[in-house]
Amino acid sequence: MSFDDLLADDGRVEPRDEMPDAYRRTLIRQIAQHAHSEIIGMQPEGNWISRAPSLRRKAILMAKVQDEAGHGLYLYAAAETLGVERADLLDQLHTGRQKYSSIFNYPTLSWADVGAIGWLVDGAAIVNQVPLCRCSYGPYARAMVRVCKEESFHQRQGFEILHTLAHGTPEQHAMAQDAVDRYWWPSLMMFGPPDDSSPNSAQSMAWGIKRFSNDDLRRRFVDMTVPQAEILGLTLPDPDIRWSEERGHYDFGPIDFTELGEVIAGNGPCNRDRMAHRVGAHEAGAWVRDAATAYEAKRAARAEGAA
């Protein structure tokens, strides 16, 4: 079946199928950015592993951060099916030629931030990624199925952390509120620029890579989150949030997209630290890659000798 017929039939494009170069390039861009986000996203929460308030919280947080590494691996593997090498993608990240999500350039100042990340950041990730399970590119869509199941656990653990704090002492409640105040607007920015200034959306939607626009997904996230904030007993830092009978959605106030532009341009609060840490970890891990490569060469030589 031709590429166009396959898309018209809502079929899945597989690695060996014919596909336009621009489709391949768009997928590499998006999947690589997504993979980079998963591994850079380990840093803000990793910051709290050694200071988690109990053994139970520490074990859960370690499992969550490890899940994010796993998501990065599935996604790099999905990108490799498009004919690129993981080492090249990492090189593009390290030299600033590929992006990662803006949200991971904000600091985690208190334990409540781990709760806010789980609830809001993983919550936004789920809203964005559930439709990607129906993405037209098979390997990406299949990777998303497992990722979404794990994100759903992450979101609940964040909600539970905030629920505990919000129902604890006045100081704990204030800490939870402060985390939500700082993470709310950056979470809305995760969905990208507004539709009328999103250069990639129209083509990505026509190709069935994106199923919904940035603004549609953002609206869906707000609709999902407002009632959850009420259950938590926390306030979202936007006085304009109110239910609109007419539109069947929550209205919300204007988003400062100049902040998103600044963070994407490398000027967020933690961009430099995140990149320095990532490049440092990559360099410190060179001996592991070398050892694995040498081991594989020896194994292959032994297998050849035995044949």
Q: Is 146 in the site for ligand FAQ (CB under 6 A)?
A: no
Using the rule CB under 6 A, which residue among 27, 33, 155, 187 binds ligand FAQ? 33
CB of 53 to ligand FAQ, least distance (A): 19
Smallest separation, CB 179 to ligand FAQ (Å): 14
Interaction between residue 173 and ligand FAQ (CB under 6 A): no
Minimum distance between the CB of residue 17 and ligand FAQ, rounded to whole angstroms? 22
**C-beta of 199: minimal distance to ligand FAQ in Å?**
5
264 near ligand FAQ (CB under 6 A)? yes
Structure tokens at 203: 């083509």
Output 113 or 238, the one with its CB closest to ligand FAQ.
113
- DSSP states of 133-179 as a string? GG-SBHHHHHHHHHHHHHHHHHHHHHHHHHHHHHTS-HHHHHHHHHH
Cβ-based nearer residue to ligand FAQ, 13 or 42: 42
Tell me which residue of 239, 107, 132 sits closest to 183, measured CA to CA.
107
User: According to the binding rule CB under 6 A, does residue 198 interact with ligand FAQ?
Assistant: yes
Identity of the residue numbered 55: L
**Interface residue with ligand FAQ, options 38, 111, 112, 187 (CB under 6 A):** 38
Distance separating alpha carbons of residues 212 and 238, to the nearest angstrom: 24
- The answer to whether the CB of 108 falls within 8 A of the CB of 182 is no
Q: Are 214 and 128 in contact (CB under 8 A)?
A: no
Among positions 123, 192, 208, 268, the unique one binding ligand FAQ when judged by CB under 6 A: 192
Phi and psi (nearest 5°) for 85? -100, 140
HSE, CB side, 13 Å, CA atoms: give it for residue 136.
Answer: 25
Nearer to ligand FAQ, 38 or 238 (CB): 38
C-alpha dihedral (159, 123, 278, 132), degrees to nearest 10: 150
For the chain, how big is the Rg over CA atoms in Å? 21
Query: Which residue number, 71 or 173, has a Cβ lying nearer to ligand FAQ?
Result: 71
Q: How many CA atoms lie within 13 A of 279 on its CB side?
A: 12
The binder of ligand FAQ chosen from 32, 48, 61, 68 (CB under 6 A): 68
**Cβ atoms of 108 and 127 closer than 8 Å:** no
Residue 208 sits in the site that holds ligand FAQ (CB under 6 A): no
- Establish if 105 lies at the interface with ligand FAQ (CB under 6 A): no
Give the separation between CA 286 and CA 281, rounded to whole angstroms: 9
Find the part of the chain contacting ligand FAQ (CB under 6 A) among 47-55, 115-123, 169-177, 289-297: 115-123
- Cβ contact 208:139 at 8 Å: no
Q: Does 155 bind ligand FAQ (CB under 6 A)?
A: no
3-class DSSP assignment, residue 243? strand
Instruction: Give the Cβ contact number of residue 1 at 10 Å.
Output: 12
Does the protein bind ligand FAQ through residue 113 (CB under 6 A)? Answer: no
Q: Which of 200, 211, 226, 277 binds ligand FAQ (CB under 6 A)?
A: 200
The reply to whether 238 sits near ligand FAQ by the rule CB under 6 A is no
CB nearer ligand FAQ, residue 12 or residue 173: 12
Residue ranges that bind ligand FAQ, judged by CB under 6 A:
29-30, 33-34, 37-38, 41, 68, 99, 101-102, 117, 121-122, 125, 128, 189-193, 198-201, 204, 210, 214, 264
